[in-house]
Amino acid sequence: MMTHKRSIPIVVAVLMLSLVGCRTYGDYGSVEKTVNKISEANEAFARALDRAQSNAESLRRAAQSAVALDHYAEAYEAIVAEHGEMVERHEKAFDDLPRSVFRYSASNRLLGSVVSEQNMIGNRYAGVAREAARAVGLESLDDPRPPYNYVFVPPYFERIRYSVGSPALDEVIRQAG
């Protein structure tokens, strides 16, 4: 019976910590920094949408003279439409960010999802540009990554290193025109 009475305060303490939560992560001001990063990422993503819309218009004009680019213009326009929806969704998620104790974890989750989705859209734009480059005969601008996936540096830096070889849509449009 004595061991049962001694375990009650421990059980109560564990229950209180699990119900109340214990913030042992982050430092002072880290929530504000994360929120600022989300805001900056959203603004940059909206600016990228403007550039993508003008690129889509240029690609559509180039597709009028080069029929091989028609499919790629449609694919690019579909990505631009999805990009626009993501901009709106990211802004809404940012506005709906809780203003409570749970803001730290919510803001970190939101930042991770925003950055991941923005990278995904960027990769899709690059994929269409790469395929359009092949269609107009710009093979030299193909993706120069090694054929294996094992790298000695973090994947993010490896992606940056090899993104230099990605074709610019401007060059594809010039080649087609």
- CA pair distance 177, 65, nearest whole angstrom: 7
Q: pLDDT for 17-32, tens place per residue?
A: 776 655 555 666 678 8
Q: What is the dihedral of CA 97, 103, 108, 110, to 10 degrees?
A: -10
The encoded tokens of residue 6 equal 């001694």
Angle between helices 30-65 and 103-135 (to 10 degrees): 20
Say if residues 169 and 132 touch (Cβ distance below 8 Å): yes
Question: For all residues of the chain together, what is the average pLDDT?
Answer: 79
pTM (2 decimals)?
A: 0.71
Q: pLDDT for 120-153, tens place per residue?
A: 998 899 888 888 888 887 765 445 555 555 556 5
